[in-house]
Amino acid sequence: MKFGYAITYVKDVSQTVAFWKAAFGIEARFVVPTGDYAELETGQTAIAFAAHTLGRSNLPQGYAPADTSSLPQGQELALVTDDVEAALVQAVQAGARLLGPAKVKPWGQTVGYVCTPDGNLIELCSPMLGATA
């Protein structure tokens, strides 16, 4: 088994895809003709977005949409960048909410957090020292 993709349910898939392009420079690699599902070009494992209407049809018992809480979710998506500070500025200019300044962790990695307009918690971080791709 391998991790394939993470799907987040959102109000408007096309607006979310546009935000991710503006905030993080990530392009869509696949959008269904109905516009209620899209995947981003993020390498081997994809970040995907599906409309709340699709979420309700997949999970008729319901779920807690991320955009209904003032607090970030208890999970995050991490994006690795060589310039965390610049990435935070770009994300905020595109409409993300800054959750605090970038900080250097005890293990040497720089990490900052934003919340997307859809309510998703995003970690912007430098590569791990000594880590290989």
Position 104: which residue type? V
* Averaged pLDDT, 40-63: 92
Q: Which domain holds residue 44?
A: 5-125
Residue 3: strand pairing partners: none
pLDDT of 95 = 98
Give the total number of structural domains in the chain. 1
For the chain, give the mean pLDDT: 93
Residue 130 lies in a domain: no
Residue 133 lies in a domain: no
pLDDT per residue over 105-121, tens digit each?
999 999 999 999 999 99
* Averaged pLDDT, 36-49: 92
pLDDT of 74 = 86
Q: Where are the beta strands (DSSP E) in the chain?
A: 5-10, 28-31, 37-40, 46-51, 76-80, 97-104, 110-115, 121-125
pLDDT of 4 = 87
Residue 131 lies in a domain: no
pLDDT per residue over 59-109, tens digit each?
999 999 998 888 888 899 999 999 999 999 999 999 999 998 999 999 999
Residue 39 lies in a domain: yes
- Counting residues of the chain whose pLDDT is more than 70, the rounded percentage is 97
DSSP 74: S
Tell me: pLDDT of 130 over 70. no
CATH number at residue 20: 3.10.180.10
